[in-house]
Amino acid sequence: MTLQELIYWFGYGLCHQLVERSFESGGLVFAVCARDTGIHIGFAAALIAAVGQFFWLRHKGRPVPGDLPTARVVAFLLILIAPMALDGASSYLGLRETTNLIRYVTGVFTGVACGSLLAPVLAAVSASTDLQSKAYSNPPSLICHLAGSLFISLLFYLVYPYLSQLSAFIAVAALLSMVISLNLLIFSVTIIKLRIERFSTWFFWSSAALVASLLELALFNLAHFLMLEVMLGTTNLFEGVISLF
């Protein structure tokens, strides 16, 4: 398996992977399109910004929020998804042309919104958080969080051409951060009944979420393959399934 095939494996079941709509660096095309890359980078950036803010609060002796933000903040974060919806809908309907930069930026807004909403939910699993304290409870904390998230996302876009092949792997790591986080969320409401106190416990559940994520990606790849290639009769079923693994 070549590096390009390895990169593509992570996004095969999630994206159309059109080369003209994807970023490329060091000879490697990213695993997913520019819009999906923006979503994943924005999501990962929001998690990084949230972790940084939580550590800062703990350093200052303040409670680390473990509750969802207020309804007003949630509504504001959901509005950030609108630019991607408008860009995608208007371009697919042929009303206007879009670019990979626009796809990336609107994807980032969506990823930041999703990551910002999921971060306090994941934080609530930790025994060190205050379940009575709402995330982004005041305008400065929300502004700092969003500014940090958008800065990280912008920084990646500015430097990815200079990072050569590493950029494609960073994008894959961002993709995995989203899938792993969703699995941790599922674990927290179905399996993990007690709040986690030890790092070793966090490591165990994070590792389990990683394994689950890789298995899910493999299943998505198989489903994509069955829907597109086998139905079109372009390849042999057995050979195609083996090639996915």
- Amino acid at site 41: I
What is the pLDDT of the chain when averaged over all its residues? 89
What is residue 52's three-state secondary structure?
Answer: helix
- pLDDT score, position 164: 95
58-69 pLDDT per residue, tens = 777 787 888 889
The range of the structural domain enclosing residue 61 comes to: 3-244
Verdict on whether the full-model pTM lies above 0.85: yes
CB < 8 Å & 24+ apart, contacts of 57-63: 58/128, 63/129, 63/130, 63/132, 63/133
24-25 vs 65-67, strand pairing mode = unpaired
Burial bucket for residue 116 (CB in 10 Å: 0-12, 13-18, 19+): buried
Question: What dihedral do alpha carbons 136, 140, 146, 150 form, nearest 10°?
Answer: -160
- φ, ψ dihedrals at 156, nearest 5°: -60, -45
pLDDT tens per residue, range 83-123: 999 998 998 888 888 999 999 999 999 999 999 999 998 88
Would you state the pLDDT for residue 108?
Answer: 98
β 28-29/130-134 pair status:
unpaired
- Count of structural domains, the chain: 1
The secondary structure of residue 62, as a DSSP letter, is P
Residue ranges for the chain with pLDDT beneath 50:
237, 244
Q: 220: which 2 tokens? A: 């998505």
**Residue among 225, 127, 218 at smallest CA distance from 179:** 218
Contact between 123 and 55 (Cβ < 8 Å): no
- pLDDT of 91 reads 87
State how far the alpha carbon of 139 is from the alpha carbons of 28, 72, 143, 151, 240, in Å: 41, 11, 6, 18, 52
